[in-house]
Amino acid sequence: MKIDRFLKAALLGLSLTAAPFAGEVQADTLRILRNGSQPVLNVPMNRALVVESDLPFAELSIANPAIADISSLNDRNIYVLGKSPGTTTLTILDAAGELITNVDIRVSPDVSEFKERLRQILPQEKIEVRTANDGIVLSGTVTSTGRMQRALDLAERYAPERVSNLMSVGGVQQVMLKVRFAEMERTAAKMLRTSLATGGSVLNGDLGLELGTGNAASLADVDAVANKLAPKGIDVEGAVLFGFNAGGLEVGIMLESLERKGVVRTLAEPNLTALSGQEAKFLAGGEYPIPVSQQNNTITIEYKPFGVELNFIPRVIDGDLINLELEAAVSSIDTGNAIVLSDISVNAFKRRETSTTVELRDGESFAIAGLLMDDFTDSNSQLPWLGDVPVLGALFRSAEFERSQSELVIIVTPHLVTPTRGEYFALPTDRVVPPTERDLFLRGKVAGKPGGNIPKTGAAGEVAKQDFTGSYGYVMD
């Protein structure tokens, strides 16, 4: 009983002494024998074990006190505390100085506590935890990259910079991104302009009325007279020409009235598939040569891409939640804003682009960009005083206005996709086949009948019935 009370008191004192090394120290017992095989003692870091010898010992020695700390409880029991990851050797000698045994002590991170915390934080993930070479090895399959990162962050708390990741991400990890550019432009313009001229050769001696436009040269020289009456550098359209003779005096009045309307529709739908975390690029268009002047008075050519461009990096975060980092653009050559440099005409570009990062789930859509522009311009010019005369003042006054409206929307929709066998898909080229010589020369057909390779049923059959639109090369969940 006295020995038992002595051991309990010694264990209590040592536990209080070892408090700086661990907040909660637990001890197990390992029994060793003389002349037995050299035992191996695995000690979790900041935890303790008790080594029990079958013979009384007189001297203890530890090779590296920084890895493990030892203390004798009595002449047969040794208290071993793991301090830092590593391997060291405990030597036990008897009273005669002879070797009783050597004990290999391996101190590793406390994975038992880590496993418990991992089960609490990620209860549905099948992650295996092992120790290797003073570190933690994680293996198994997780459902998303976000949960894998949480497990790695937790492991770093127990083994900083000594965590090996052998985990793999299950589920669908390929993302197909559908981007839709939709733009509508509306223009409207009206003009009412009057020109008056007198002289001996305005109408070439003719008296009467001429109707037509500035582009209708067949109507009695309306173009020729209009060029005399219209201001320089202004095109004449929708012109009505009146003229009369007063003795030797000829008077010409040209009335221009024009109304213009226009609608432009632009639609582009690039689709691109990429692996989670990998960048994908797409360009459907071309490259335009642009001359660039150099310092040695030479001109080099640089090429600027134009068309439909799409760059994006998808990241499947958790389940069907997708993080998208994307750049999208639609550009075209604008000949109306060309410039001339050294007798070389260089066209401008009309470009609509966006760059953003969004998060959304599989099949959801986001309008990532929108633009509404409404431009209005009007002008009024007249001869002083005469233009203010009621009714007749309209002959000495010109008025015009122009309005332009533009609306642009860019919508993105990601889908989680998986590949399938190629024969299950119908391609756009399957629906258009070259004609035979008989169909081309005798019947005037530019396309022959589709062959028998097109599927008739199933999803591929539905795609084959469509026009030049559809989903190809993947299967959407």
Per-residue pLDDT reduced to its tens digit, 69-97? 988 888 888 889 988 888 888 888 888 88
Asked if residue 32 has pLDDT above 70, the reply is: no
Q: Give the pLDDT of residue 355.
A: 92
Query: In terms of Cα–Cα distance, which of 436, 435, 425, 434 is closest to 466?
Result: 425
Q: Give the pLDDT of residue 8.
A: 43
pLDDT in tens, 121-150: 888 888 888 887 778 899 988 877 778 888
What mean pLDDT do residues 346-368 have? 89
How far is CA 355 from each of CA 37, 84, 324, 368, rounded to the nearest angstrom? 68, 49, 11, 9
Reduced 3-state DSSP string for the chain: CHHHHHHHHHHHHHHHHCHHHCCCCCEEEEEECCCCCCCEEEEECCCEEEEEECCCCCEEEECCCCCEEEEECCCCEEEEEECCCEEEEEEEECCCCCEEEEEEEEEECCHHHHHHHHHHHCCCCEEEEEEECCEEEEEEEECCHHHHHHHHHHHHHHCCCCEEEEEEECCCCEEEEEEEEEEEEEEEEEEEEEEEEEECCCCCCCCEEEECCCCCCCCCCHHHHHHHHCCCCCCCCCEEEEEEEECCEEEEEEEEEEEEEEEEEEEECCEEEEECCCCEEEEEEEEEEEEEECCCCCEEEEEEEEEEEEEEEEEEEECCEEEEEEEEEEEEEEEEEEEEECCEEEEEEEEEEEEEEEEEECCCCEEEEEEEEEEEEEEEEECCCHHHCCCHHHHHEEEEEEEEEEEEEEEEEEEEEECCCHHHCCCHHHHCECCCHHHHHHCCCCCECCCCCCCCCHHHHHHHHCCCCCCCCCEEC
What mean pLDDT do residues 387-391 have? 78
Q: Give the pLDDT of residue 214.
A: 35
Residue type at position 31: R
Domains in the chain and their CATH numbers?
40-108 (2.60.40.1380), 111-169 (3.30.1340.30), 177-181+263-378+399-417 (no CATH), 187-258 (no CATH), 422-476 (no CATH)
Q: Which residue has the higher pLDDT, 303 or 14?
A: 303
Kindly report the average pLDDT of the chain as a whole number.
75
Q: Give the pLDDT of residue 249.
A: 62
What mean pLDDT do residues 377-389 have? 80
Q: Give the pLDDT of residue 11.
A: 44
Q: Give the pLDDT of residue 271.
A: 87
Where residue 211 falls among pLDDT bands split at 50, 70, 90? very low
Q: Tokens at residue 10, please?
A: 């010694």
What mean pLDDT do residues 218-229 have? 46
- 213 close to 238: Cβ distance less than 8 angstroms: yes
What mean pLDDT do residues 395-401 have? 79
Q: Which residue has the higher pLDDT, 8 or 82?
A: 82
Q: Give the pLDDT of residue 104.
A: 87
Asked if residue 46 has pLDDT above 90, the reply is: no
Q: Give the pLDDT of residue 467.
A: 53
Q: Which of the listed ranges 124-138, 419-433, 437-451 does the model predict with the highest average pLDDT?
A: 124-138
Asked if residue 325 has pLDDT above 90, the reply is: yes
Which range among 42-56, 184-198, 439-453, 460-474 shows the weakest confidence by mean pLDDT? 460-474
Where residue 280 falls among pLDDT bands split at 50, 70, 90? very high
What mean pLDDT do residues 214-234 have? 44
Percentage of the chain lying above the pLDDT 90 cut: 6
Where residue 458 falls among pLDDT bands split at 50, 70, 90? low
Residue type at position 191: M
pLDDT in tens, 234-249: 455 556 666 666 666 6
What mean pLDDT do residues 356-374 have? 89
Asked if residue 418 has pLDDT above 90, the reply is: no
